Amino acid sequence: MEAEDHKGLERVLSQKALSMSSSFPCQICVVGFLCGVCLTSLFLAGLTSFGRFEFDGIQFHQISAAILPWSSNPQITLGDSDSKSRTVEKEENPRGTNLCCDDDKVSMLYSTWSTLLNESVDPWTNTKSSVLNAPHLENCKSKALMNKRLDTRVGNATFPPWTLWKGSLDVYAKVSEDEQLNDFRHQDISQGAYPPWISGSDEENYPLTRKVQRDVWLHQHPLNCHDPQVKFLVADWERLPGFGIGAQIAGMCGILALAISEKRVLVTNYYNRADHEGCEGSSHASWSCYFLPETSQECRDRAFELMNHKEAWDKGIIKEKENYTSKEIWAGRTPRNWGAPWSYLQPTTEINGSFVAFHRKMDRRWWRAQAVRYLMRFPTDYTCHLMNVARHAAFGKEAAEMVLANSNGDWLKDETDHPAPEIEKYVWSNRKPWIPRPLLSMHVRMGDKACEMKVVEFKEYMRLAERIRKQFPDLRSIWLSTEMQQVIDLTKLYTSSGWNFYFTNVKRQVSNITMATYEASLGRKTSTEYPLVNFLMATEADFFIGALGSTWCFLIDGMRNTGGKVMAGYLSVNKDRFW
């Protein structure tokens, strides 16, 4: 492994780069990569969040964890012993302080971005303002339009324009005169092989993910909703106060399984968590406030129309949730339309130190992953904005520092050159917003969950984090989601060992009040949106720690396994009750 380590470091590490660095908790000395530079206080951690960038003409490639073996030994020596070495003093630059510019500039840029965000101006490719792009923010308006386009059939096509091309690139391909290109495009679309919400290759997802997502979409979007053959299942989301947001989703996953098995189009109805002033118009009290709806508007309309016809009920064309027992919903049979792909799931989970190859509910785990992925396939403009706000609060300052450091402290765009914008519009528009990677997602649930499962101490979660870091030494950022103030307080104990914690700022549960009381105290909007944002942020992470005994973590795990992150693995402090 050591031999390969050198190849990654293709370029000279210059002392100048140190000015952009952030300090390491420990000192490392690296001797003789290509031309023998010894650095104390390495800037690798900084690099991992930059990805790849250029500095004074020297290009640095992202250096991943695998490249540098790590230990607490202050002197790690790599490479030829005869290479000459040079020592650079460790700089006193703890992460968080500015490396290039004064605080005023950072706050100025940060608050300009805040204003743009507040005014719903696109802060990414803002044309209204000449400040530098905000790398951590997304253009929600155009993203929403694109999602809508990718969720809608054109004419009598079987599928929406899902092709081998990503994002808006298809729009460009469409106007092309190239016949061969167009043939490929039509061929692709007619097969629907690439549901665009699935990232990663087939090996990086649960078996058959792409096929299942495509088929579920097709099932939920019949060509003609008025066809008398089309049957419906109309279901409200669970709304008893005891049901957490995760349990509501898990319940709907069960109902989707019933709908698929009985060849009914699932139409979700009243969603209490969207019954607030933030969700306006037709998205009020509906899942469609947060994600594109599970079926088309025509089918929704048709189902609601049929609900008024006694005959439709009598003939069983329409059914509702109340027609099913809770056993059918919660412990029903997983659809067999795709055989039994769960029987060959590969183990990627470690529970309390053991690698779990098999458990009793492999089918449910596979199905819930598919169902939650389908339901959340396309976030709405509204959700995108919530995510922008959350990322800005958590990473905005860091992003501003980074951007300023990269531009010599100049926070205005250079408006002198105007290159052709196509690549921005068609290619770069598809980028994912920046977050400080690698990022570890950690969900710590305590409090009243004790009645369902053995509650595990925060210390245990941090032990697992250290376990991951031993393997991936560049890891330092943790996205922590928890309801418990006491967990947030405990994070202070770990910052000295180099951990950076990020979390949303919300009033947290103190002492032993019940979850329902706590949620009520936040109000409906906050108590929905704060966990939702945490959930979506968690699914963006590179590493995962949680408690699979909790539905919430189970769903995050499902998103991992259908989001191209099977190989990220999952460390759990406990297992599901039913395994």
Ligand X SMILES: *[C@@H]1O[C@H](CO)[C@@H](O)[C@H](O)[C@H]1NC(C)=O
**Nearest approach, Cβ of 289 to ligand X (angstroms)?**
20
Rounded to whole angstroms, the Cα distance separating 301 from 295 reads: 10
Q: Which is nearer to ligand X, 114 or 142 (CB)?
A: 114
**Cα maximum dimension of the chain:** 89
Specify the 3-state DSSP secondary structure of 543.
Answer: strand
Contact predicate 447/440, CB 8 Å: no
Question: At its nearest, how many Å lie between ligand X and the CB of residue 262?
Answer: 10
* In the complex, minimum distance from the CB of residue 576 to ligand X, in angstroms, rounded to a whole number: 12
3-state secondary structure 315-328: CCCEEEHHHCCHHH
DSSP state of 131: B
Judged by CB under 6 A, the residue of 156, 201, 229, 408 near ligand X is: 156
Q: Does 316 bind ligand X (CB under 6 A)?
A: yes
Contacts of 162 (CB under 8 A, 6+ apart): 150, 188, 189, 192, 193, 194, 195, 196
How far apart, in Å, are the Cα atoms of 4 and each of 9, 45, 72?
A: 10, 20, 21
Contact window for ligand X (CB under 6 A) among 135-143, 319-327, 377-385, 539-547: 319-327
Of positions 319, 364, 373, 508, contacts ligand X by CB under 6 A: 319
Comparing CB distances to ligand X, the nearer of 5 and 350 is 350
> Which span sits near ligand X by CB under 6 A: 193-201, 315-323, 407-415, 526-534?
315-323
- Of 55, 70, 184, 313, the one binding ligand X (CB under 6 A) is 313
Q: Residues 7, 12, 15, 20: is their CA dihedral positive or negative?
A: negative
Shortest Å, Cβ 354 to ligand X: 8
Size of the site for ligand X (CB under 6 A): 16
- Least distance from ligand X to the Cβ atom of residue 522, Å: 18
Give the range of 293-301, 316-324, 327-335, 475-483 binding ligand X by CB under 6 A: 316-324
Q: Which residues contact 364 (CB under 8 A, 6 or more apart)?
A: 334, 578
The DSSP output letter for 423 is I
Which token pair is 172? 């460009």
Phi–psi pair at 291, nearest 5 degrees: -140, 155
> Which H/E stretch holds residue 442?
strand 439-444
- The least CB distance from residue 338 to ligand X, in Å, is 25
Which CB sits closer to ligand X, 35 or 510?
510
Interaction residues for ligand X, span 95-124 (CB under 6 A): 114-115, 118
The least CB distance from residue 233 to ligand X, in Å, is: 10
Q: Does 182 bind ligand X (CB under 6 A)?
A: no
Residue 155 near ligand X by CB under 6 A? yes
Using rule CB under 6 A, residue 277 touches ligand X = no
Q: What string marks each residue from 331 to 370 as x (binds ligand X by CB under 6 A) or -?
A: ---------------------xx-----------------
Cβ distance to ligand X smaller for residue 4 or 322: 322
Cis peptide before 438 (omega within 30 of 0): yes
Tell me the DSSP string of 244-279: -HHHHHHHHHHHHHHHHHTTEEEEE---GGG-STTS
Which of 19, 323, 406, 526 is close enough to bind ligand X by CB under 6 A?
Answer: 323
3-state secondary structure of 422: helix
What are 343's two structure tokens? 């029987």
Q: How far is the CB of 227 from ligand X (least distance, A)?
A: 14
Considering the complex, state which of residue 105 and residue 425 has its C-beta at the smaller distance from ligand X.
105
Q: Is 83 exposed, middle or buried (0-12, 13-18, 19+ CB in 10 A)?
A: middle
Tell me the three state secondary structure of residue 287.
helix
The residue type of 234 is V
Write down the least CB distance from residue 200 to ligand X, Å: 31
CA distances from 407 to 49, 53, 56, 112, 131 (A): 16, 12, 11, 17, 12
- Cβ 179 to ligand X shortest distance, Å: 17
Are the C-beta atoms of 505 and 402 separated by less than 8 Å? no
Query: Quick check: 129 binds ligand X (CB under 6 A)?
Result: no
- Pick the binder of ligand X from 309, 454, 467, 470 (CB under 6 A): 454
Chain residues binding ligand X by CB under 6 A are 114-115, 118, 155-156, 313, 316, 319-320, 322-323, 352-353, 454, 512, 574
